[in-house]
Amino acid sequence: MDSSLYRWTQVAKKTSSQCLSESTPLLSSKKQKPTYNLNKQRVVFANNEKWEWDCKKSSRFYKGNKIRTTKYTLLSFLPKNLLEQFYRSANIYFVFLAVLNWIPLIEVFHKEITMVPLVIVLVVIALKDGIEDYKRYCFDRQINFTKTNIYSKHHKDFVEKCWKDVRVGDFIKLLGNEIIPADILLLYSSDQNGICHIETANLDGETNLKQRQVVKGFCNQGLQFDPESFRNTIVCEKPNNNLNKFKGYMEWDNGQKTGFGSESLLLRGCTVRNTEEAVGIVVYAGHETKAMLNNSGPRYKRSKIERQMNMNIFFCVGLLFVMCLIGALAHGIWSSRFVFVHPLFDVPTADGSYISPSLAGFYMFLTMIILLQILIPISLYVSIELVKLGQIYFIHNDLDLYDEEVDLSVQCRALNITEDLGQIQYIFSDKTGTLTENKMVFRRCTIIGNEYSHQENAKRLETYKEEESDDEDTGKLRNITLLNLDAGKESTVKHKGTRALRRCQSARPNIQGHYRKKSEGRFDISQVAFSSPIEKDVTPDHMLLAKVREASVKIGGLTQYKPQSNIKAQVASSPYIDFFLALAICNTVVVSTATEPRQRVIVPPLLKPSGTSLEKLQHLLQRIKLLTLSQSSSSSPASSDPGTPTSSKNNKVSPVPSSDKDNVSSSSSGETECQANGKEDPLVKRTSADNCLEEMIATVSSFHIEDDFCYEAESPDEAALVHAARAYSFTLMSRTPAQVTVRLPEGTLLTFELLYTLGFDSVRKRMSVVVRHPITREIIVYTKGADSVIMDLLDDPAKANISEEKKLRKTQARTQKHLDWYARDGLRTLCIAKKVLSEDDFEKWSNFREEAEAAIENREELLMETAQHLETNLSLLGATGIEDRLQDGVPDTIAALREAGINIWVLTGDKQETAINIAYSCQLLDQTDTVFTINTESKETCESILDCTLEDVKKVFPQKTRKGILKKHKTDISNELEYACPAVGLVIDGRTLNVVFQGGLELKFLELAKHCRSVLCCRATPLQKSMVVKLVRDKLNVMTLSIGDGANDVSMIQAADVGIGISGQEGMQAVMSSDFAISRFKHLKKLLLVHGHWCYKRLANMVIYFFYKNVVCFLFFYMFLLFINFSMPLCQKVQEQRCKRGSTLYV
């Protein structure tokens, strides 16, 4: 028995009462009083009449929805702020000095004056903190008083209340475009399929819509949801900050349990889209919501200068104590000389006695500390904070760091490490979306071992900037009013019609596509993620297009003229059809309208598509041309013959394809009838030409309206593949949780029953959909994923007969060869595969899948095992190559940073060949570099390779090393860098990194990496990225910077001394965890080399000036002590009798 099946069997044995239901998965039908572990679980009771008492009792332990992000209150501001300020040791030191000055015997200055500088410093910082906190208070108040609809058990209806009044267990009714006030479990949606779409732009920056599903068992409800009928108890996990993880179950009255997950949770801060009404119950409120748990605010870091400055201050304190001690000893020795006769300025105590020389020396020690306190600058911290605020202002307002396309400038999230930007020694960068644009463009594909290069598509990308200007002209054609056909009809066809009609087929998405406007901002609602013209436009390959049409013609009309057995045979033998069907439906793309507000397309158009093709449009044009020629020839005597030449010419020039005969026949009938009697009437000819023109414009118009969709994908890869399928006329028309509709090239609509969707995850590195084919009724699994995974899951060719085995092995070998080509060209590769399930196998797997979905414990592990059990013995269909183009200015930026002495490492999860090619493209690697590649899974082999490689590098470059390069004061750094950064590159994959970290080979790896100017880590996981950064930061004791744009880069960004997030197309999680946020990698050049240099140099010079100024004053006072024998002038009152006796005191 399979291991996963065995585990499922054991789970079934442990829960003997578990059974399956068509409506809800049941885990327990035994009626007994439930017990809960409140330390690990949260129990939610509904706020209705049935659970009123339980809800009130439990709500006392849960936080309300009122949020408070302020640090202080009116009562706590003063003590709390002072406590925070006295965390700085320098402030405590100055308070100590102020207290000393209040002691009469050692008083140096007036008591009040000594406290003025300290009070000013504390007040200025307190005012700054208070203003910032007041702004947070105003923002909190605005949010807390936002209105929402909460169910009231007294009114028996939803009433409008403030967000701050929401409690755990309340029922909330959400309307379209409303922001979600708390974390809500979805119980009802106005969508007939129980779907609610949300936009998470406020949470993670992603503008694409995400689907949320009503909890199982609540899908089949009436038109309205009745909260009083809710009799269930909700048990879920304790609050946590994982946005993508949520699990729990719902207990029914009869003891049955229904499991649910993150697919049913509406997160606070998201916006409801494409849904008229949704109702849910609050499970987390206020500061216990996932959004608030992730909102840690700006990070506090200590800069390198601040750490060094603290050391300098400790040194100054030590120096001060030593100098004061010397002065105190000298004063004690000098005082011991006056045993019998005391000088007039030696003031006795109240009883007339004099203090001993040792005690006088101690008092002098304390007095000198007060007098010479100027050695430690009290205003330094305040001055530094003010200077940093000015630096941040100038960085934020730098126009060179502003991206006009997305309307974003640099963001400074960490306010106190600006100077660290000028001290970076190592940069760790992600590849996708950081060095590249993250605009996935379909470039090439291979199907059953046949490669299609799409040369026309490559040429289109090379001349994309020119096509942008053409698109503007094409867009003007779309704005032509089609209602007024008589005005300017002939001129329109003559000047613009032909060109526009040609572009209808070659660049079809441009006719109806969504155009990105400049300066609108990345997060504008009108913009659709991953749908720029460069991503949507795909020019088909002529050879592949012919293959697709040939296969489409064979399938077209099978259901009407072929028996069922022939249908299955012919459809099964169409890998080209399966390949593009997989591209169209193996995803989670949401189809919505292009108009605002966007509405999800649930049902495809009622009218059957006409199958408009280039041949039909050409046929219409030729008919217009021939009718025009016929009309002109009829006006001359030489053309008064019955018109036979025209008719024959028409038949030769415009043959009608078989697939378009039905569509064109009705249009041609009018012309045939007009020509039946030989000579034609000129009025009839003109009418016929006008009718053809109207038909052509109507055809183009209907073609535009019908295909005017927006594809909202969760990743750019999905969008690129859907657009590619659409370019070959496999158009995704609609998607619901139960079915997905695709239009084939000949115009037939295929509606697949969507049985299961196994989403993509970073562990499996693939996704699958299980559908029932509408023609063959077969259950098919379509899978796409990384080639390193899919190729290992293919069915063993040895199981087939000899001829089939040879064919399969050849297909796999040729596909792998093409994948290597794509990787060398820098393309991202994905493999496409399928699998046909029998009814028995599917039913068996489906039962276990339902068991896993209903499981309470180990739910994620069971779901993972069911997916892995299904995705085996696959049949390879083909592979795709998707281009992710380099961002503008990346090569120049890397070259400039390298000239500045900064080492650049690239940590990516991509295929090794792809990453290497990108590294050459962005000049991270040069053609003259010696590149060492390490790929192994054995510790011994890895250690041996590291030793041999390090020895080879030292032989080639034995002269210099990198040690202390940035610390040396060299006049000619460029010559030093030639020796410090040898032309050596290192490439290592994720499996080898595991061996390095688990086998204790970190130091050897680091020793080798120090001699390389470029290091490339491929197939690296997020954890490995952070481990690499920490290794370099801690072992080499260098300043590190990490830059990335995705959620997989968060750990790497947080591990570095300076983290930079790129606000790209993969959301805002990287930005939210970063210290600085930019929109383009090229901005890193000025941010580091200009602003970083300025901030560090100016701040360092200011700190040095402060110490210099104070040391000069300190030495002035100390030199004065040499002339007064360390006696120190005293600021205290002398008695009247003493003044009379010692008249010299007047002097």
- Is residue 672 marked as binding? no
3-class secondary-structure state, position 484 = coil
Given 420, 430, 471, 541, the catalytic residue: 430
- Measure the N-to-C terminal CA separation of the chain; round to a whole number of Å: 109
C-alpha distances out from residue 652 to 14, 179, 615, 626, 648, Å: 76, 63, 14, 12, 6
Burial of 60 (0-12, 13-18, 19+ CB in 10 A): exposed
Task: Write phi, then psi, for 651 (nearest 5 degrees).
Answer: -70, -35
Task: Write phi, then psi, for 989 (nearest 5 degrees).
Answer: -105, 175
What span, in angstroms and rounded, lies between the C-alpha atoms of 996 and 982? 23
- Is residue 718 marked as binding? yes
3-state secondary structure 55-100: HHHHHCCCCCCCCCCCCCCCCCHHHHHHHHHCCCHHHHHHHHHHHH
With beta carbons less than 8 A apart as the criterion, state whether 830 and 717 touch.
yes
Which tokens is 600 given?
Answer: 């999800």
What's the one-letter identity of residue 452? Answer: Y
DSSP H or E stretch at residue 201:
helix 201-204
Buried b (16+ CB within 10 A) or exposed e, 332-368: bebbeeeeeeeeeeebeeeeeeebebeebbbbbbbbb
- Is residue 761 marked as binding? no
Angle among Cα 996, 1000, 1005 to the nearest 5 degrees reads 50
With beta carbons less than 8 A apart as the criterion, state whether 709 and 593 touch.
yes
What span, in angstroms and rounded, lies between the C-alpha atoms of 844 and 4? 13
Which tokens is 661 given?
Answer: 């005969």
With beta carbons less than 8 A apart as the criterion, state whether 1114 and 374 touch.
yes
Which tokens is 523 given?
Answer: 């997060």
- Is residue 1049 marked as binding? yes
10 Å Cβ neighbour count for 738?
12
Task: Write phi, then psi, for 161 (nearest 5 degrees).
Answer: -140, 175
Cis before 348 (ω within 30): no
Residue 231: partners with Cβ closer than 8 Å, 6 or more residues away: 50, 252, 253
With beta carbons less than 8 A apart as the criterion, state whether 660 and 553 touch.
no
C-alpha distances out from residue 668 to 607, 624, 664, 699, Å: 21, 12, 6, 14
- Is residue 778 marked as binding? no
Strand partners, 183: 284
- Is residue 1045 marked as binding? yes
Residue 999: partners with Cβ closer than 8 Å, 6 or more residues away: 939, 942, 943
- Is residue 792 marked as binding? no
With beta carbons less than 8 A apart as the criterion, state whether 113 and 104 touch.
no
- Is residue 541 marked as binding? no
- Is residue 431 marked as binding? yes
- Is residue 884 marked as binding? no
- Is residue 225 marked as binding? no
10 Å Cβ neighbour count for 468?
13
Which of 698, 1080, 718 is closest to 888 using CA atoms?
A: 1080
- Is residue 430 marked as binding? yes
DSSP H or E stretch at residue 837:
strand 827-837
- Is residue 35 marked as binding? no
List the strands of the sheet with 209-213, edge to edge. 209-213, 195-199, 271-273
Which tokens is 579 given?
Answer: 């390949």
What span, in angstroms and rounded, lies between the C-alpha atoms of 741 and 731? 9
What span, in angstroms and rounded, lies between the C-alpha atoms of 415 and 795? 56
With beta carbons less than 8 A apart as the criterion, state whether 986 and 1036 touch.
no
Task: Write phi, then psi, for 914 (nearest 5 degrees).
Answer: -65, -45
Let me know if 662 is a catalytic residue.
no
Residues designated catalytic: 430
Residues contributing to the annotated binding site for ATP: 430-432, 718, 760, 784, 828, 908-910, 1019, 1025, 1048-1049
Residues contributing to the annotated binding site: 430-432, 718, 760, 784, 828, 908-910, 1019, 1025, 1045, 1048-1049
Residues contributing to the annotated binding site for Mg(2+): 430, 432, 1045, 1049
